Chain A
Amino acid sequence: MAFASFSEFLAMGGHAPYVWSAWGVTALLLVATVWHARVEQRQLIKGLKRRARRANSLKGNTP
């Protein structure tokens, strides 16, 4: 452990704004890409299901 206390850890020896903003932006971007990928996937599958349901009801055999 490089820090004596948690508040020291947060202060980063006076470099807190720099360290935390760099890490924060990185974390934010990583999380955002994952979130975006999930939303994209869900919407796509929703759309595909809607399309399949429409096709099935046209054929007259709704599952």
Chain B
Amino acid sequence: MWAFIHKLGSPKWFYGISAKLQPWFWAAAALLLITGSLWGLAFAPADYQQGNSFRIIYVHVPAAFLAQSIFISMAVSGLVFMVWKIKVADMAAAVMAPLGAAMTFVALFSGAVWGVPTWGTWWMWDARLTSMLILLFLYLGVIALRGAFTSRDSASRAASVLAMVGVINIPIIKYSVDWWYTLHQPASFTLTSRPTMPTEMWLPLVIMVLGFYSFFIALTLMRTRSEILRREASKRWVQELVNGQMMKVPAEETR
């Protein structure tokens, strides 16, 4: 167990294994996203109430899911980094944060755009949108805190603690925002909650969600590899790797 954890923690080992895993996730992401998009945009039936604007659900919901999942993965990585001092976990957490913020932005933007045909306004203090907005601020806080330290070791620890504090608070925030919303807007109609969704509507949604997750994993692997190279540039194995590559034709680094 211990040996495994520490092996997992070795940047060199991670660099090797991620190279093997990465293509599969990119392929899965491309396949799922293309299938899901075609299906959701062209083949899924229009909603009887919202018409074709309903198709925004296929980007809004996956982005919202992913935004929350990334924050949780960031906190878990932070915990792993703090408890076992596994640096790769912190590198992954560092590269996840901007993608998470981007996903939160996508969820917010698509929600706002969706609001125009549905509510007739760009912004409604809808429970989901409000929670997303708060999540965006949490992301910005983590990114800003990491950037504010001059010592990278301290930055990593501080960002880890903040991510963990944030993740404990997310359910509390979500619950209180939901509660606040129902208190102020009783019986109003939310974007995505509907009693029954026919299979040909939710199946593409599932495919899109899976596609977004694959994309997230693939991108995180790729950027973590870059981050490993950046932080371990002075380590022997990186220099050997670079030297080995220069011997060959200046072939491009595989992704």
Contacts and interface: CB of A to CB of B under 8 A. Distances in A.
Direct contact of A and B (CB under 8 A): yes
A53 B230 CA distance: 17
Interface string A6-19: 00010011110011
Interface string A26-63: 10011001100110111011001101110110000001
B221 to A, nearest CB: 10
B246 A63 contact: yes
Category for how many chain B residues contact A: 35 or more
Contacts of A14: 51-52
Contacts of A22: 56, 59-60, 109-110, 113-114
Nearest to B110: A22
Nearest to A45: B253
A12 B226 contact: no
B110 A25 contact: yes
Interface of B: 33, 37, 41-46, 51-53, 55-56, 59-60, 63, 98-99, 102, 105-106, 109-110, 113-114, 116-117, 215, 219, 222-223, 225-226, 229-230, 233, 238-239, 242-243, 245-247, 250, 252-253, 255
Interface of A: 1-3, 9, 12-15, 18-19, 21-23, 25-26, 29-30, 33-34, 37-38, 40-42, 44-45, 48-49, 51-53, 55-56, 63
